[in-house]
Amino acid sequence: MFPFRCYRIAAGILIALAGTLACSAAPAFVDVFVNGQEGYPAYRIPALVTTTRGTLLAFAEGRATLRDHAENDIVLKRSTDSGKTWSAVQVVHEDGTNCLSNPTAVVLRENGRVLLMYQRYAKGFDEHKAEPGLDGPRVCRTLIQHSDDDGITWSKPVEITAQVKRPTEVTSTATGPGIGIQLARGKHAGRILMPFNQGPFGKWKVYAAISDDGGKSWRYGETAAEGAAGHANEVQFAELADGSVMLNARNQGGGLKQRKIAISRDGGETWSTTQHDATLIEPTCQASILRHPGGGDPAKDILLFSNPGTQTGRTNGVIRLSRDDGKTWPTSRVLFPGGFAYSCLTSLPDGAIGCLLERDGYKAIAFARFTTNWVEGKE
C-alpha cells in the first residue's frame, strides 16, 4: 500500500512526509491498483465516480502489458469509507484477447444508476488500423453497461456503436476517459452527456453523445470546430452556472501545449470554436474537470481541474480551482510532485474531493483525498 503523505510548501521548498499521516489537512494517499497485483501486470486509465449512496467506484483498464492495446479488461474497485480502504479487483467485462478501453462513468441523480461506457477493439487492431463503418472486424465498437447496486453487479454489455459513431469517415471513437455528466440546470436538465473524440488518427474531433431517456438510447451531437493549432482529443465536460457546458480537451499536435476549451449553449448539440486556455498548460495528456458543489448553495459551486501542470513531461500533478466558471484559474496547488499522468476527480459526500491518479511512471493508480481549503492554502 502506498503510504499516506502530507505536503507542505515552506519557503518555496516542497517537503514530503511519508508514513502515518502527519497533518490532517494535507492530502491522504492510498494505492488502489498496483501493477503486478491481483491478476494484472499493468493498470491504466482511471475513472472515478461517487454513487448516490456515497460509494466510490474506481475503474481502470487491467492490462497484460503497459501497451494501450494489451488484451485490456475493464476492472473495478469499490470503497464504502471515502477511499480509506478498497475492495479486491472486480472484473466488469473481459473479452478474451480483444481490447476494452477508455472507461467513462456517470451516476444518475434520480435513481442512482451507474452507467459505464467504453470501447472494444478486436485483437490486432487499434485506432491506427480502425476502419469507418458500423460493422466488420476492424470497426471500433462502443459498449455500455449499468449497475443499480453501487457497482456490486453489472448488466450484460450492450453495443451502441451505431448510436454514438458516425457511419462514414470516422474510424476510431473514444469515450473520455473519465466521467460523463448529467445536466442539472436549464431546459436540458436531466440530459446525460458522454464526452467523445473521433478519428481518423491525427485528425481527431470532439463531441457529445447525448441521452434524454436515462441512458436507454443515445445520439451524437456536432463536433467542435477547431479555432487554434492542434486537434482536440481526450475530452471532459463540466456544466456551468447558466446551464451551458464547457468542454476541456487534450491538445494533440500544433506545437502549443495548452488545453482546448469550447462552450455549448444547447445542451451539447453544438459547440463554439475551440480556443486555448493559456493557464491550463499540459505536456499532452488527459486531464479531469469537475463541478464541485458549494455546500448546498449553487452560487458557491466551483470548478476543479487536475493534470500534469507542466509542458515538459507527465509529472507535477496540479489541482486548480476556479470560482468564475473557468474564466480564470487563479488558485493552484501541487497534489503530487512526482510522475503524474491520467487522473479523475470526484466530489465526496462530506464535501472533500477525491482524485484517482496514475503515479510514478504508471507503477500504480492511487487515490488522493483533499479539501478546497487545502487547495486554497487555508489548511
Active-site residue numbers?
68, 234, 342
Q: Which of 185, 368, 371 is nearest to 294 (CA)?
A: 371
Record the cell numbers describing residue 112, joined without a space: 442512482
Collapse the DSSP code of 310 into the 3-class scheme (helix H, G, I; strand E, B; otherwise coil) and give the result. Answer: coil
Burial classification of residue 290, based on how many CB atoms lie within 10 Å of its CB (0-12 exposed, 13-18 middle, 19 or more buried): buried
Neighbours of 124 (CB within 10 A): 12
DSSP state, 299? G
CA 301, CA 372: separation in Å to the nearest integer? 11
Neighbours of 127 (CB within 10 A): 22
Residues with Cβ < 8 Å from 181, sequence gap 6 or more?
106, 192, 193, 237, 238, 239, 245, 291
Q: Strand pairing of 192-198 and 173-175?
A: antiparallel
- Upstream peptide bond of 137 is cis (omega within 30 degrees of 0): no
Question: Does residue 368 contact residue 353 with C-beta atoms inside 8 Å?
Answer: no
Neighbours of 345 (CB within 10 A): 24
CA 308, CA 334: separation in Å to the nearest integer? 9
Question: Does residue 154 contact residue 148 with C-beta atoms inside 8 Å?
Answer: no
Length of the chain: 379
Neighbours of 12 (CB within 10 A): 5
Question: Does residue 92 contact residue 75 with C-beta atoms inside 8 Å?
Answer: yes
CA 145, CA 280: separation in Å to the nearest integer? 33
Question: Does residue 181 contact residue 237 with C-beta atoms inside 8 Å?
Answer: yes
Residues with Cβ < 8 Å from 159, sequence gap 6 or more?
141, 142, 143
